[in-house]
């Protein structure tokens, strides 16, 4: 069987639960849309489109208010565009409203830090005007797909910036946790490996902009690249089979939790042979 094209999300999903990987990527059973994915796409789209702004079109006396309105309008437009998907979710209106308000808060937090970058340049010892400052903080590239036929892996990078003679590959996260977990680190390592293959050398740094908090950046070193490439090799070796028995269940609180359950819970029945005590731990 030929190697499947993998991604950071598919590799991390396999590491979380091989059986879930089997259902999603081998049998290709469709998963249900969820609020985290939908609102993440909305926020990412608003931030990507934000930098299409033509700075010279703004009133210099009302820069911050106009930028804030512009970003809020972008968010509103993408939220409205996703309304049908939001309505189909099995959620109460107040729950959806919570994520709407939380997303607005995250974008406001991001915008305040963006303003700080502009102010630093516009009020420096050798100040620049707003269009120049905007150009300086604007990402070098946005929303790029990297695809490697050699590694058989691909990934979508949110943006790349050039800062202090360094190339930094970044990803936005709407998560409520602000640490670069092993899963995030693997994702960033894969991005670094893909960048290295495409451009001949790796980026200097990779990081995650936690939109509820701030950017967190790590250096790219040989260990990060080696670990990413090792995990890519391992996923290809581990997913050669199309037999369900080769994809064991990994029982965890992610099977069934207080607000939902795995998309494949009813099909997988991870606790069918266990007594109710084992199952009740995850309610």
Using CA atoms, how far residue 232 sits from 132, 144, 185, in Å, is 41, 20, 14
| Better-scored residue on pLDDT, 260 or 268 | 268
Q: What percent of the chain is modeled with pLDDT above 70?
A: 94
Residue 59 predicted with pLDDT over 80: no
DSSP state of 117: H
CA atoms of 2 and 268, how far apart (whole Å) = 26
Sign of the CA dihedral with 140 first, then 142, 147, and 153 last: positive
CATH 3.90.320.10 region(s) of the chain? 139-238
Quick: pLDDT tens for 111-151.
999 999 999 999 999 999 999 999 999 999 999 999 999 99
Q: How confident is the model at residue 176 (pLDDT cuts 50, 70, 90)?
A: confident
Quick: pLDDT tens for 207-236.
999 999 999 999 999 999 999 999 999 999
Contact yes or no for 129/122 (Cβ under 8 A): yes
Which residue, among 63, 75, 143, has the nearest Cα to 103 in the 3D structure? 75
Which stretches within the chain are classed as H helix?
8-16, 18-21, 35-50, 63-81, 83-87, 93-122, 130-137, 182-199, 222-238, 265-268, 276-280
CA atoms of 83 and 77, how far apart (whole Å) = 10
What pLDDT sits at residue 279?
37
Backbone angles phi, psi at 96, to 5 degrees: -65, -40
CA atoms of 248 and 22, how far apart (whole Å) = 9
What pLDDT sits at residue 163?
86
Tell me which of 17-31, 202-216, 248-262 is least confident: 248-262
Q: What percent of the chain is modeled with pLDDT above 90?
A: 81
Beta-sheet pairing, 205-210 with 166-173: parallel
Would you say domain 139-238 falls under CATH 3.20.20.60? no
């Amino acid at each position: 069987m030929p190697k499947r094209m993998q991604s950071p999300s598919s590799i991390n999903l396999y590491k979380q639960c091989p059986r879930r990987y089997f259902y999603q990527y081998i049998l290709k059973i469709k998963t249900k849309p969820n609020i985290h994915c939908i609102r993440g796409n909305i926020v990412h789209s608003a931030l990507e489109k934000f930098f299409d702004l033509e700075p010279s079109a703004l009133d210099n006396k009302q820069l911050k208010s106009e930028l804030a309105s512009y970003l809020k309008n972008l968010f509103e437009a993408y939220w409205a565009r996703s309304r049908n998907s939001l309505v189909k979710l099995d959620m109460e209106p107040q729950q959806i409203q919570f994520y709407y308000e939380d997303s607005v808060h995250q974008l406001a937090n991001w915008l305040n830090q963006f303003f700080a970058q502009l102010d630093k340049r516009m009020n420096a010892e050798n100040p620049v005007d707003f269009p120049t400052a905007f150009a300086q903080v604007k990402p070098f590239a946005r929303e790029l797909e990297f695809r490697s036929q050699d590694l058989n892996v691909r990934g979508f990078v949110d943006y790349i910036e050039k800062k202090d003679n360094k190339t930094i590959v970044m990803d936005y996260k709407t998560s409520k946790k602000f640490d670069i977990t092993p899963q995030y680190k693997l994702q960033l390592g894969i991005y670094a490996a893909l960048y290295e293959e495409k451009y001949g050398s790796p980026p200097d740094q990779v990081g995650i902009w936690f939109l509820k908090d701030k950017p967190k950046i790590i250096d790219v070193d040989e260990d990060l690249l080696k670990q990413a490439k090792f995990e890519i090799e391992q996923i290809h070796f581990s997913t050669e089979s199309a037999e369900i028995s080769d994809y064991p269940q990994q029982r965890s609180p992610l099977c069934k939790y207080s607000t939902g359950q795995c998309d494949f819970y009813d099909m997988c029945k991870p606790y069918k042979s266990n007594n109710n005590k084992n199952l009740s731990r995850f309610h």
